[in-house]
């Protein structure tokens, strides 16, 4: 009699435990799915990463890939340091991602103890685009190719000036490697924002600038600047008559072909379900006509890379940048 009474109770207890377990598992899975996403960027409003992040949200909504609004949170201090540290402070949180650039890799090597967080500690979700780098000079410059600039730099060592961003930015790092390869040297004039860089170039404070297509398009169209070289193995689609530095005979060993790229990173420790959720969105985004149009306008190339291939690419790029940072430390 006693055993017959216990059997239904035991069965009910088992059912209750199973139901509780299923609810608990469901809650854990739901906790891994983002529900209030914010995009962290390393520039202020109107900066490159800020515009890129906002364009991602806009295009994803237009392509019906995203039905939410992702606010953009600016952490501009330290060339990526503040943004990386912010992500680290929100470890395991699925609701924060960052539109990062390859500059974050070099920042981690040059910041010393200030770099509490580096890219390798974050969860890199996807590489989205390769931002092809071009060489621009004033329209009236005597240089028609970058090889012309190199020849003049050899005649006037340490006298010519390149204008650009932070000293650890890829444009300066690439230039240092090219100087080493060609036995030349020139100065580097640093400005935080793009406007003063263009102004310095136009008024003759600098003779040359390395940047993305959208950095120069307006001034080229206005006849103020001209493009004299492409830092890539492929020519630029908007300026197909401009030869690459390799075609001009400029030795490019030690300079990564994909010098500047943009991707998406999340805090450390996010779950595989979180990564898969974001990758599902971005894999659809980069296939949309709206994205293709945006890439063409910016002069960028879609490079959607995830998983092991992304880990390998990041590792190879980090090795190259680490060597370039050595040149920066030697010069300073």
Tell me, yes or no, whether 41 and 101 share the same domain. yes
Confidence of residue 13 (pLDDT cuts 50, 70, 90): low
Confidence of residue 123 (pLDDT cuts 50, 70, 90): very high
Q: What is the pLDDT of residue 108?
A: 79
Candidate from 29-38, 46-55, 140-149, 207-216 with smallest mean pLDDT: 29-38
Q: What is the pLDDT of residue 21?
A: 46
pLDDT, one tens digit per residue, over 33-54 is: 999 999 999 988 888 899 999 9
Task: Using CB atoms within 10 Å of the CB of residue 81, give its burial: 0 to 12 exposed, 13 to 18 middle, 19+ buried.
Answer: buried
Structural domain ending residue among the three candidates 208, 230, 252: 230
Confidence of residue 24 (pLDDT cuts 50, 70, 90): very low
Tell me, yes or no, whether 80 and 159 share the same domain. no
Residue 240 lies in a domain: no
**Owning domain of residue 150:** 133-230
Q: What is the pLDDT of residue 14?
A: 54
Is residue 181's pLDDT more than 90?
yes
Average pLDDT over the chain, rounded to whole?
Answer: 90
Q: What is the pLDDT of residue 227?
A: 99
Structure tokens at 131: 């931002």
Q: What is the pLDDT of residue 26?
A: 47
- Say if pTM beats, i.e. exceeds, 0.85: no
Contacts by 309-316 with C-beta closer than 8 Å and gap 24+?
Answer: 310/124, 310/126, 310/127, 311/124, 313/127, 314/105, 314/119, 314/120, 314/124
Confidence of residue 27 (pLDDT cuts 50, 70, 90): very low
Coil, strand, or helix at residue 216? helix
Share of the chain above pLDDT 90, in %: 74
Alpha helices in the chain (DSSP H): 2-32, 48-62, 81-89, 103-110, 146-155, 170-182, 194-202, 213-221, 272-285, 289-298, 307-331
Confidence of residue 31 (pLDDT cuts 50, 70, 90): confident
> What gap in Å lies between CA 296 and CA 18, rounded to an integer?
54
Q: For the domain that residue 149 is a member of, what is the CATH number?
A: 3.40.190.10
In sequence order, what are the beta bridge partners of 101?
262
pLDDT, one tens digit per residue, over 252-308 is: 999 998 899 999 999 999 999 999 999 999 999 999 999 999 999 998 999 999 999
Tell me, yes or no, whether 118 and 161 share the same domain. no
Tell me, yes or no, whether 137 and 126 share the same domain. no
Residue 58 lies in a domain: yes
> What gap in Å lies between CA 313 and CA 316, rounded to an integer?
5
Burial 274-288 (b: 16+ CB within 10 A, else e): bbebbbebbeebbeb
What letter does residue 227 receive in the DSSP assignment? E
Tell me, yes or no, whether 138 and 150 share the same domain. yes
């Amino acid at each position: 009699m006693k055993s017959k009474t216990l059997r239904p109770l035991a069965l009910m207890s088992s059912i209750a435990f199973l139901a509780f377990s299923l609810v608990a598992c469901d809650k854990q899975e739901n906790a891994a799915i983002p529900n209030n996403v914010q995009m962290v960027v390393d520039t202020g409003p109107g900066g490159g990463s800020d515009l890129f992040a906002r364009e991602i949200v806009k295009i994803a909504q237009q392509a019906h890939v995203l039905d939410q609004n992702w606010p953009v949170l600016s952490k501009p201090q330290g060339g990526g340091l503040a943004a990386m540290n912010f992500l680290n402070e929100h470890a395991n949180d699925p609701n924060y991602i960052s539109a990062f650039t390859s500059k974050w890799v070099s920042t981690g090597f040059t910041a010393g103890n200030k770099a509490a967080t580096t890219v390798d500690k974050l969860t890199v979700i996807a590489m989205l685009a390769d931002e092809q780098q071009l060489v621009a000079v004033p329209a009236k410059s005597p240089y028609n190719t970058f090889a012309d600039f190199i020849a003049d730099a050899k005649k006037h060592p340490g006298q010519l000036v390149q204008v650009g961003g932070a000293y650890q930015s890829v444009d300066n790092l690439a230039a240092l490697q090219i100087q080493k390869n060609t036995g030349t040297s020139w100065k580097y004039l640093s400005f935080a924002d793009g406007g003063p860089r263009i102004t310095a170039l136009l008024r003759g404070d600098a003779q040359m600038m390395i940047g993305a297509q959208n950095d120069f398009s307006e001034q080229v169209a206005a006849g103020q600047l001209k493009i004299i070289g492409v830092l890539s193995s492929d020519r630029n689609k908007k300026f197909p008559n401009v030869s690459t530095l390799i075609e001009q005979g400029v030795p490019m060993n030690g300079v990564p072909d994909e010098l500047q790229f943009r991707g998406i990173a999340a805090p450390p420790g996010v779950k595989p379900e979180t990564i898969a959720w974001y990758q599902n969105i971005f894999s659809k985004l980069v296939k949309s006509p709206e994205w293709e149009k945006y890439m063409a306008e910016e002069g960028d190339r879609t490079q959607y890379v995830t998983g092991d291939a992304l880990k390998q690419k990041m590792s190879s790029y980090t090795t190259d940048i680490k060597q370039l940072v050595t040149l920066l430390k030697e010069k300073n």
